[in-house]
Structures are given as structure tokens and as C-alpha cells.
Amino acid sequence: DNLRYPIDQNIAKDLLSQPDRELAWSRVMRGGIKSDHMCMDMFEKMNATGVGEGDEIIITAFDNDSKTFDHVASTLCKLSFVATIATHPAICSMSHVPDIGVMNEEARWIVESGDSTSRSTPWLDSGLTGAGQVVSLIDTGIDVDNCYFWDSTNLPPHSWNDKSNRKITQYVSFADGNDHGSGHGTHVAGTIAGHISTDGGKTSSTSPGMADGIAKDAKISFYDFSKEGRTVDLPSNLHVAFDKGRNAGSKVLNASWGGYDGGSYGYWDRVFDDYIFRKDDFLIVVSAGNSGAGQKPTSIHTPASAKNVISVGATQSSGKDVTRGMKGEDYVAWFSSHGPTADGRTKPDVVAPGESILSAGARSSQRGECDPTDGTVLSVGDVTNAYGLDYRVGTSMAAPVVTGTVALIRQYFEEGWYPSGIKGSGKKITPSGTLVKAIIMNGAQLVAGIQDDRVTVYSSEYDNTQNFGRVSLINSLALDGKNKLETKVYDRESITNDSLKNYNIRINTSGCDATELRVTLAWNDPASTQGCTNCVNNDLDLYIVRDGKTYYPNGLNKKDSKNNAERIRIPATNGQSFKVRVKAYNLATNSQKYSLVVSGCF
């Protein structure tokens, strides 16, 4: 179990109280290797596996059969082993690998327009539905004969790879190939890209389903990591699982799972950051965790505490999804995990609807389970096994809302909607992951607060409850006839140490109604050492100068040296000029690529 038992309190107090730590650890080691502690049994059952593309290994200390001996004895064995390995001259660092667990109709309009009066879906109405995109997931499984995923070929629940399929083009059965015991993966996949079929999976229905996904015309590459939806079985080299989706054409992966590790930068954070840093066209969206009750600080889960991911907290939903006195979409859900990380980075990155979300439901004993056929409108509490739908709660439900949004943004650029908001009017662009991330953060909108146990607490921009705010596509990119917003993007820009890049912006409000200038900088930072206390390796700084005054990012009155995403918002009027500047400081590598997004009127 990768040394997960808590240290016996008497041993911990003894270690911490000793003035001579070396002597204290020596005593632990001598005690730990005694035969009556069964340390030899532990050593014999250990296994070591190389991971990633660096010099790292995972050492698994116990299997299920060896967890039964005395707790204090097992603690001494583990501590003696840790002390021995950590003092070896070839070992740079050693850390705990935490256990991992799993944590739309309303959600669609909330992230597309945020307009509770019209409840409009301008991106869907304009034809941006995720077509041509592949999204990848690592989760508990999919009930493949649910009407939101069903293919007429009646694919069995084991591995396949067929790009001609209507919905699921790849299914990797690393664990068991179904979603019998959970329904978590089915629900998550449905929120991203579920699309109802009413003809046995031959075609997608032209009429909307009650739980069509955010990117309903995207296809799915799925990696099943759970046995019967109960236990998580990740590959020792997680990059192999990432590659499965990427090789199937996916540029975004959803990870609605994680584990609590005190907010520290740990093993899983490093694995995620390293992969994203190496694959600049790839983006991973991660659920923030469900440990935020009581506004608990530093409750962010791993790998949501990684630098290069988008970590997503949960807001309440709206309409029929609101129950029990909930205030609605402008309030963060009571369970949503909070930052900061242990090294002081602000988390989560953004928030999206995640409390009481309707999506596809797993019904393993049924075939073709679907929406009610009698016109019944479902609300929370109405869903039964008679339908192929489920309501669920958690940041696991919020992350796929953002993943679906990523697919829509990628379609926007790849089909030439940029910059005018008219399909095919511009050059087709393959955006980097950091550009998509910066666009999402740049357009995110402030929510009012958090509702915890029916008590409302105010939340502010860039805090550790909502950070950049709730995702809003209508405030992110131009869409002809739907908004009057202009956006400039600068992708895969490169900067060297101590150099400065300038971007001159002049405001022209002709045909545009934006009242502020928004600028967001994002970059993929190299993976850091586990347990780092200052985890950003390549520090870039964003600031804006106007009329001799300097504006700094993220609500600060100085440069931000902690985070690798920075945003500035400034009121802007016609004719004003701004100098946007990006400065590189103390880079650990020769150069650093970044993406910059500017929105307003130009």
C-alpha cells in the first residue's frame, strides 16, 4: 500500500522530540530490522517498478496479505526501510505515493452563456458541438450499451479500437471493461460527450437528449482503471495510459479522481506535469477534490495540485438541479476542495457546475437504457433504475464540464472560427494546451461565494475557493451574432532568461461592447521535485503599463512568483493604449514557451 499506514503517535513524538535526529533514526532502524517485527516478510513481498521517462521507481511495500501484523511493528519496519533508502547516495528524493480514488442540460447554458434569464447556448446554436474532436478519459468504465454511447455494432465490454464507431472509438480494458459497480465513469463520459441515439446506436439523434454532453459530437477514447467500479488499478507508468488517448487523436484528458496528500507537490503531480510539459498540444483536466467542507484550506487533492493541469472546483447548478435550499450557479458547492497548495500556489484554477448534475447512468442489467419515453421531466430524486440517467454530486462532475468545453475551443480553432467568430473565415490553427488553458481562465467569471451548510460565505477573485472564477465561453472568444468581443491570441511564444516581450494594445470600441481589457498568461513548467516549497522552476511575469502606472496579475500589487498562470483585468475605454509585457526571470531551462490571450475591443 505504498507506506500508507499512519505513523504510530508514540514513535512520531519520540522522533520529533530528540535533539539528535541521527541517533533517533538509528534507534528506529535497529528496532525495525528485528525479526519479530516481520520486516523480512515485508522485504520479500516488495516490488519495484520503473515509471515515467526519468529515473524514478515506485516501491510497493505490502500486499493485502501482509497488512495483518502488529501496527507499531509495521510502522518500525517501514521507517527503517525509508531511513535506509533515503540515506543512499544515489537517491535524490523519496516521497509517499497516495492512494487514488474516484471522487446536462443546466451545466451547458451555465458555461456557455451564464445567462439565467435566457438560458441560452450560443456555442451549441452556432454549430460548435465538439465535432471532429476526440476526448480521452481514465475512469471506472462505461456502460457501453447506454443509449448515450451505444453503437449498432454492439461492442462487447473488452478492449477495441475502431475510429468508425459512432461514439466510443477506443476502449482499453486495463482493469475489467465494464462499469457495473460504480457508474462513475459512465456519468463523467456522458457529461463530456454523451449523445443520445434512439435507433439502437446506428446514428445520433437529431433531437436533444435530456443528458447530452457539453461536446455531444466529440468521440471518446476510454481507459478503464477500476475493477467493478470499486478498486483503482492504475498502470505503474501512467504515461502509457495518457499515450493511449493521445495516439487515438485526443488532445485533452479528463481525470475525475485523485487522493488527499495535504496539498503538497507529490508523485502524481510530478507525473502529470512531466507529461504535459513534454507534449505541448495536450491538456489534462482534473477534479479538485471533495474535502472542502467548512472551507477547509489546503484541501486540494493530488493531482489537482499539479502546475500544468486545469484543476476544477464545483459550483451548484440551476433550475431543476437545485434542491434543499441551494442558492444556484453563482455559489461554490460546500464540498469543493480549497487551496492553497502546500507551497502557496492558488487552487483550484476554475470552477464549473458539479452539484446535482444529470448525466448518463450505468445499468449493467439493462440494454439500451435511456431517457423516459413518456415526456417525464426529471429532477433530483426522480431518477430510478427505469432510466439510463443519474444525478451525481462532486468535483468529479465539474471537471468533465470543463473537458467538454476544451473540446469546443479546440474545434473553434481547428475549423477556422478565430478571430471573427465565423466558421472558416480564419486560418485553421492547432492550439497548444496552454493556449486553451489561458482562454478558459481569461474568460472565467466571478461567482458570489460559497454556500456551506446553508451558510453563505463571500468569495473573491483569485482566492482559494474559485480563483479565476466560473468558466464562461461567451466571455472567452468572439462568436458572430452572439457577442461583441474581440480576442487576440499569441501561441507558443518563446522567451529566454532575463528577456522581455512587449505587446502594444490600443482600444477601439467600434462594433464592440467590452468594457475592460483582460490579459492572461499561461505556460507549462518543468516538473518539480516532490515536496518542493517553491515549485515554479521557470518564472514568467505578466504586467501591463498605462500612463506610467504598472498593473500586476492575480489581484497582487507585485509580481506573482508562485503560479504559472497569471491574469490582469483593467477597465478600458476607447482610444486608450496599453503595453502588455512578459518578463522571464530565473529560468531553469534555456528558454520557455508560453501562451498569451488578450480580450476586449481593439
pTM over the 0.85 mark: yes
Catalytic residue at 120? no
pLDDT above 80 for 379: no
In the structure grid, which three cell numbers stand for residue 402, read together?
Answer: 470543463
In the structure grid, which three cell numbers stand for residue 208, read together?
Answer: 436533444
d(CA 388, CA 212): 12
d(CA 585, CA 501): 12
pLDDT above 60 for 548: yes
Residues 190/143, Cβ–Cβ less than 8 Å:
no
**What was the pLDDT predicted at 52?**
53
Residues 132/408, Cβ–Cβ less than 8 Å:
no
**What was the pLDDT predicted at 91?**
77
pLDDT above 50 for 67: no
pLDDT above 80 for 377: no
CA proximity to 128, closest of 488, 416, 436, 397: 416
Query: In whole numbers, what is the pLDDT of the chain averaged over residues?
Result: 87
Please enumerate, as own/partner, the contacts of 426-432 that have beta carbons within 8 Å and a separation of 24 or more: 429/491, 430/281, 431/281, 431/489, 431/491, 432/280, 432/281, 432/491, 432/492, 432/593, 432/595
Confidence of residue 385 (pLDDT cuts 50, 70, 90): confident
Domain boundaries, the chain: 9-86, 101-458, 483-600
d(CA 186, CA 180): 10
d(CA 419, CA 417): 6
- Work out the average pLDDT over 236-255: 95
**What was the pLDDT predicted at 482?**
96
User: Which one of 305, 337, 396, 599 is the catalytic residue?
Assistant: 396
**What was the pLDDT predicted at 408?**
98
CA proximity to 429, closest of 412, 450, 405: 412
Q: pLDDT digits over 139-185, tens only? A: 988 888 899 998 876 565 567 888 889 999 999 987 666 666 568 99
Residues 519/580, Cβ–Cβ less than 8 Å:
yes
| CB burial of residue 546 (10 Å; 0-12, 13-18, 19+) | middle
Question: Phi then psi for 414, rounded to 5 degrees?
Answer: -70, -25
**What was the pLDDT predicted at 5?**
35
Confidence of residue 53 (pLDDT cuts 50, 70, 90): low
**What was the pLDDT predicted at 183?**
87
**What was the pLDDT predicted at 47?**
67
**What was the pLDDT predicted at 54?**
54
In the structure grid, which three cell numbers stand for residue 377, read together?
Answer: 421531466
Residue burial 122-161, b: 16+ Cβ < 10 Å; e: rest: bbbebebbbbebbbbbbbbbbbbbbbbbbbeeebebebbe
**What was the pLDDT predicted at 201?**
80
Q: pLDDT digits over 76-113, tens only? A: 677 777 777 777 777 777 776 766 555 466 888 999 99
Give percent of the chain above pLDDT 70. Answer: 82
Q: pLDDT digits over 395-434, tens only? A: 999 999 999 999 999 999 999 999 999 999 999 999 999 9
d(CA 213, CA 236): 31
Residues 242/272, Cβ–Cβ less than 8 Å:
no
Residues 485/424, Cβ–Cβ less than 8 Å:
no
CA proximity to 234, closest of 302, 135, 282: 302
- Work out the average pLDDT over 336-362: 95
Strand partners, 592: 495
d(CA 272, CA 287): 13
Q: Where does 43-126 show beta strands of DSSP type E?
A: 47-51, 56-60, 101-102
- Please report the sign of the dihedral spanned by the C-alpha atoms of residue 171, residue 175, residue 180, residue 181: negative
User: Which one of 37, 80, 139, 212 is the catalytic residue?
Assistant: 139
**What was the pLDDT predicted at 505?**
98
Higher pLDDT residue, 67 or 369? 369
Confidence of residue 591 (pLDDT cuts 50, 70, 90): very high
**What was the pLDDT predicted at 6?**
41
Residues 512/601, Cβ–Cβ less than 8 Å:
yes
pLDDT above 60 for 601: yes
CATH number belonging to domain 483-600: 2.60.120.380
Confidence of residue 34 (pLDDT cuts 50, 70, 90): low
Least confident of 95-99, 236-240, 283-287, 531-535: 95-99
pLDDT above 60 for 525: yes
Question: Phi then psi for 563, rounded to 5 degrees?
Answer: -110, 150
Give percent of the chain above pLDDT 90. Answer: 63
**What was the pLDDT predicted at 100?**
59
d(CA 199, CA 129): 21
pLDDT above 80 for 533: yes
**What was the pLDDT predicted at 159?**
75
Residues 485/478, Cβ–Cβ less than 8 Å:
yes
- Work out the average pLDDT over 474-481: 97
Q: 3-state DSSP call for residue 285?
A: strand
Confidence of residue 225 (pLDDT cuts 50, 70, 90): confident
Prior bond of 157 cis (ω within 30°): no
**What was the pLDDT predicted at 78?**
72
In the structure grid, which three cell numbers stand for residue 77, read together?
Answer: 519496519
Q: pLDDT digits over 118-127, tens only? A: 999 999 999 9
Least confident of 69-73, 290-294, 523-527: 69-73
Catalytic residue at 301? no
Q: 3-state DSSP call for residue 581?
A: strand
SS3 sequence of 400-463: HHHHHHHHHHHHHHHCCCCCCCCCCCCCCCCCCHHHHHHHHHHHCECCCEEEECCEEEECCCCC
**What was the pLDDT predicted at 152?**
74
pLDDT above 90 for 223: yes
User: Which one of 37, 184, 195, 239 is the catalytic residue?
Assistant: 184
**What was the pLDDT predicted at 29?**
66
Q: Where does 201-327 show beta strands of DSSP type E?
A: 219-224, 226-227, 231-232, 252-255, 257-258, 283-287, 310-316
Catalytic residue at 396? yes
Confidence of residue 287 (pLDDT cuts 50, 70, 90): very high
CA proximity to 149, closest of 171, 123, 181, 126: 171
d(CA 490, CA 503): 10
Architecture of domain 101-458: 3-Layer(aba) Sandwich (3.40)
